[in-house]
A and B are shown apart, each in its own frame.
Chain A
Amino acid sequence: MNEEKKVAVLKGGPSLERQVSLRSGAHAQEALVRLGHEVLALDVGPELVPELRAQQPDAAFIALHGRDGEDGTVQALLEAIGIPYTGSGPAACARCTDKALAKYLMREAGVPTLDFHFLREPSVRQLGAAHAVADIEGRLGFPLVVKPASQGSALGVKFARASDQLPSAMVGAFSYDDKILIERYAKGRDLAVSVLDGPATDSTRSPPGRTGARRAAPFALPVVEAVPREEDFYDYESRYEIGMTTFVCPAELEADTAARAQELAMEVYTLLGCHGVARVDLMLEAGGDDLWVLEINVVPGLTETSLLPQAADAAGIGFDELTARVLASAWTR
């Protein structure tokens, strides 16, 4: 049924999420081979562009997480050399990867997101930003979470209970990015909603390397809940550690809460201009029914235990089918 394509799977690279990316890539490769495609596995490095030019794949399947792969760098390069690629374009990548930018855009559009402030390291040195920290503390209150603006792994995510902890928390986060955000801490349930473009029409008939297939409306997959194995208020980092979390899919939620989470995810997906697939992380705050959008991942993990494949599975979309749909997004731009 599917026309055989030559697909370059881009994975690995020097990002801090290299290991996860290698697993995502390997998993996608297996599915692509089963789907009958010719797979070219590329651990991205200085040879990436020459290799792609030499091999001329019909599409690039992006399984890169973190820097370069998720921030639009690789996407822009692929556009420069005319190779169709999966997922969002450079602009949406930039909007989502920069968590501060994403949150500003959401705030402007009235999408609920936890109150925050944005800070750049040079402004500490050059503009006296340190003198604004007390105002930020006053406005947000403690405890606070400090995050590098663009860093997908647990590294650099810091928790500050009081004023005297904030400077080192900020410097920790600045180690990964000169942009950080300081966010109100909310306790609650971690939810994730993946959004997927509908099945593309005509994708198989469009000649390789050319767009033209029609993009179908996106839809939200069932909500997944990430449940930390050991709840530890102070141990913010372990919530992101591999193996410290179990996943429940579909999440056990009131029907209307689940529906609201899905609507919010769809709204954000459209707002930020995502394409093909994205995962929206939300929080259902304890002691109420407030839903907050935390962040958006334009290259969701595709490992055996990642959230997107689990959510797709719960919607009756197996991993091969999911991979096929993500691949199809290369030709529906």
Chain B
Amino acid sequence: MDRSSSGAGEGRGARPTAHELARYEALFASRTRSMKSSAMREMMALTERPDVISLAGGLPDTTTFEPELYAKLMSHVAAESTARALQYGPTDGMTATVDCIVEVMAAEGTLIDPSEVIVTTGGQQVIDLVCKALIDPGDVIVAEAPTYPGAVPTFGAYQAEVAQIEMDSDGMPIEELEIVLDRLQARGRRPKFIYTIPNFQNPGGVTMSLARRRELLVLEDNPYGLLRYEGEPLPTLYSLDAEVLGSGGGADLVIYLGTFSKILSPGLRLGWAVAPRPVLEKLNLGKQGADLCSSPVTQLFVAAYFNERDPGGGRRWRAYLEQLKVLYSRRRDVMLEALADHFADDARWTKPQGGLFIWATLDERIDTTDLLALARESQGVAFVPGRAAYVDGRSGSSSMRLNFAGVPEEDIREGMRRIGKVVREQLSLIGTLSGSVPSSRNLARGAAEREPGTPPGGEAAQVDRGVAGGGLRAGSPGAGQDAGPGGDDSGLADVVALPRRASEGSARRRRDR
């Protein structure tokens, strides 16, 4: 009997069953102890509100997909493949979908053997399945720092020890990687795999030659490869590895992760892995246990979509991709401009040649988790604090991840203006508290926006750059041996900033404040 009624925003009422933890505690697997929540993640759960401009999402812009095309494809699937769409499918995926994957990979300049593909429920499932297949508690994964925030709780759930290596502008510095590997070796440890997200700047050749020399498996997580806005495409690690092997076959040290999420739609929940056959078999067994198969409805949707032709006979998906690239690169430029306008000189940020995000790093005395609390509360703007991309939950504390792809231009400008305002206020306060000599350079751009009542040139508007910042936490970022898991599944939703149920449909409402 459920006697509770629901009130403002409450979906489910109380169940009368007893939920005393003690009754279940003895049943929980030891891994659940490492599936913890954190205050930072809980705060991020609060950022997806309709009144907040969120630069925190990991979202592409799905409003650009033509409703008529969507309707046409869905009815095509419904009419032409009723029974198949409603039926279970093969665990490794439907042939028609694998054909699309081969086509996408070819567009990436990577030839693959269709029998080495497994279709998954999003790229996220690949990360999970690879861990399931390879990671025993305490096993080591080497990852970049920062890494994909959504991988952090997955690594945690499998109780992996993650060594994160701070990236420079060329990616994971190979010397650092060698040092970490040697250090691990001295402890008799060897990473199960290297988890890497190719960015658009750094060629993977160096990484691959090292992986080859050390016989290390690489998980190449490449959701954005086709979303390159400028510069020459870089070969995938997968293709580099296959090339070295020659013989026209696949790679033997690379597990490639791809997804339709960023080039088409994350709502389809379709991704894939290309892997050496023995690994593929384990992924397949793991997937059988996880969900038997990915949805045939969306697989057939993808197949139908990839069959679409333009009036001119070109591939429709390529045209849509071009359209996305134009849109996203413009938004990236808007954000870069806004960064230059609103962030002080001592902030640094990436100038990505593709993808969805900019990674910005502020004065080291600013903790972006605190900044988020203030920015959300006082300015109604959100971003992902850098710590979310670090397995120890502490490093990266002066950085932030900013999504430009899923945010309209005016919101990017306004959002960045708001963040810049809070940053300047914090820097000015730090400067004042440090008793520093005003320096007119640092906040020059902010001067126009000084709070009314603050004397121009007064201490409140300035910050001294000479004062050494006080890092609050022990351990330098990316020191390498940061073991320890983090996050539970609600934390995961927070990190990739999925839309919250209640605000679905209102996500694109105008925010006036």
Chain A interface (Cβ within 8 Å of chain B)? 8-9, 12, 14, 16-20, 26-27, 29-30, 32-34, 38-48, 51, 55, 121, 124-125, 130-131, 133-134, 153-156, 158-160, 162, 164-176, 232, 234-235, 237, 240-244, 304-305, 319
Interface residues on B, range: 35 or more
Is B8's beta carbon under 8 Å from chain A?
yes
- Complex Cα–Cα for A134 and B435 (A): 10
Smallest Cβ-Cβ distance to B36: which chain A residue: A243
Contact B374 A33 (CB under 8 A): no
| A168 & B14 in contact (Cβ 8 Å cutoff) | no
> Beyond the given A39-B13, A243-B33, could you list 12 further A-B residue pairs with CB under 8 A, ordered by the A residue number?
A16-B46, A19-B490, A26-B19, A29-B14, A40-B5, A41-B14, A48-B8, A51-B7, A155-B40, A166-B470, A168-B367, A174-B429
Quick one: CB contact mask for B462-490 with A, threshold 8 Å, 1 for yes?
Answer: 00000111111110000000000000001
Within 8 A of A (CB), among B313-345: none
Interface residues of B (CB under 8 A from A): 3-10, 13-22, 33, 36-40, 42-43, 45-46, 49, 365-367, 369-371, 373-374, 394, 426, 429-430, 432-435, 454, 459-460, 467-474, 490
- Are A176 and B13 neighbours in the complex by a CB distance under 8 Å? no
- Tell me if B37 and A175 are in contact (CB < 8 A): no
Minimum distance in angstroms from B311 CB to a CB of chain A: 49
* Cβ contact within 8 Å between B470 and A160: yes
Specify which chain A residues have a CB less than 8 angstroms from the CB of B49 in the assembled complex: 14
Compute how far the CA of A201 lies from the CA of B20 in the bound complex, rounded to whole angstroms: 28
Evaluate contact between B45 and A19: CB separation under 8 angstroms.
yes
Question: Which A residue sits closest to B470, measured CB to CB?
Answer: A165
CB neighbours of B14 from chain A (8 A): 9, 26, 29-30, 32-33, 39, 41
Across-interface contacts of A19 in B (CB, < 8 A): 37, 42, 45, 490
Q: Are A42 and B36 in contact (CB under 8 A)?
A: no
Q: By CB atoms of chain B within 10 A, which of A130, A168, A243 has the most?
A: A168
Contacts of B15 in A (CB 8 A): 30, 33
Question: How many Å from the CB of B376 to the closest CB on chain A?
Answer: 9
**Cβ–Cβ < 8 Å partners of B429 in chain A:** 121, 124-125, 167, 170-171, 174
B13, B16, B33: the one contacting A34 at CB < 8 Å is B16
B454 contacts A176, CB within 8 Å?
no
On chain A, the residues within 8 Å of B472 by CB distance are 158-160, 165, 168-169, 172
* A242 engages B365 (CB within 8 Å): no
Distance in Å: Cβ of B24 to nearest Cβ of chain A: 9
A48 to B10, CA, bound (A): 12
Q: Are B433 and A155 in contact (CB under 8 A)?
A: no
User: Which of A9, A153, A235, A243 has the most chain B CB atoms inside 10 A of its CB?
Assistant: A243
Q: Which residue of A lies closest to B426 (CB)?
A: A171
Minimal Cβ-Cβ distance residue in B for A158? B472
Closest CB pairs A-B (n = 3): A165-B470, A304-B21, A29-B14
Q: Which of A17, A55, A241 contacts B38 (CB 8 A)?
A: A241
Provide the residues of chain B in CB contact with A26, threshold 8 Å: 14, 19
Measured between beta carbons, the chain B residues less than 8 angstroms from A40 are: 4-5, 7
Given contacts A34-B18, A175-B426, A244-B36, contact A16 B373 (CB under 8 A): yes
Q: List 18 A-B contacts (CB under 8 A).
A: A9-B14, A12-B10, A30-B15, A33-B14, A40-B7, A42-B10, A45-B8, A48-B8, A51-B8, A125-B429, A155-B373, A165-B471, A168-B470, A169-B470, A171-B366, A235-B394, A304-B20, A305-B21
A242 in contact with B5 (CB, 8 Å): no
Q: Which residue of A lies closest to B33 (CB)?
A: A243
How many A-B residue pairs have C-beta atoms within 8 angstroms? Tell me: 183
- Inside 8 A of A240's CB, which chain B residues have their CB? 39
Interface centre among A18, A27, A167, by most chain B C-beta atoms within 10 angstroms, is A167
Q: Are B474 and A232 in contact (CB under 8 A)?
A: yes
Residues of chain B within 8 A (CB-CB) of A243 are 33, 36-37
Instruction: From B36, B42, B468, B473, give the contact of A18 (CB < 8 A).
Output: B42
Contact with B370, one of A14, A17, A160, A176 (Cβ below 8 angstroms):
A176
Bound state CA distance, A27 and B21, in angstroms?
Answer: 10
Of the candidates A41, A159, A319, the one whose C-beta lies within 8 Å of that of B6 is: A41
In contact, A319 and B39 (Cβ under 8 angstroms): no
CA distance A244 to B392 in the complex (A): 13
Chain B residues lying within 8 Å of A45, measured Cβ to Cβ, are 8-9
CA–CA, A170 and B429, complex, Å: 9
One of A27, A43, A162, A171 near B9 (C-beta < 8 A): A43
Q: Are A172 and B8 within 8 A (Cβ)?
A: no
Cβ contact within 8 Å between A18 and B46 = yes
Inter-subunit contact A41/B470 (CB<8 Å): no
Least Cβ–Cβ distance between A107 and chain B, in angstroms: 25
Q: How far is the CB of A180 from chain B (nearest CB, A)?
A: 11
In the complex, chain B residues whose CB is within 8 Å of the CB of A156: 370, 373
Measured CB to CB, the nearest residue on chain A to B397 is A172
Q: Which residues on the B side are within 8 Å of A42 (C-beta)?
A: 7-8, 10
Give the distance in Å from the alpha carbon of A8 to the alpha carbon of B454 in the complex. 46
Chain B residue with Cβ nearest A17? B42
CB neighbours of B3 from chain A (8 A):
33, 38-39
* Contact A154 B18, CB 8 Å, known A42-B8, A169-B472, A172-B367: no
Measured between alpha carbons, how far is A243 from B34 in the docked complex, in Å?
8
A305 to B33, CA, bound (A): 13
Chain A residues with CB under 8 Å of B426's CB are: 171, 175
Bound complex: CA A237 to CA B40 (Å): 11
* Residues on B with beta carbons closer than 8 Å to the beta carbon of A8: 7
Q: Chain A residues near B13 (CB, 8 Å)?
A: 29, 39, 41
| Shortest distance between the CB of B493 and any CB in chain A (Å) | 12
User: Is there contact, CB below 8 Å, between A16 and B43?
Assistant: yes
Given contacts A154-B39, A170-B433, are A41 and B370 in contact (CB under 8 A)?
Answer: no
- Using Cβ atoms and an 8 Å threshold, which residues of chain A touch B369? 155
User: Cα distance A148–B473 when bound, in Å?
Assistant: 18
Q: CB-CB < 8 A to B40: which residues of A?
A: 155
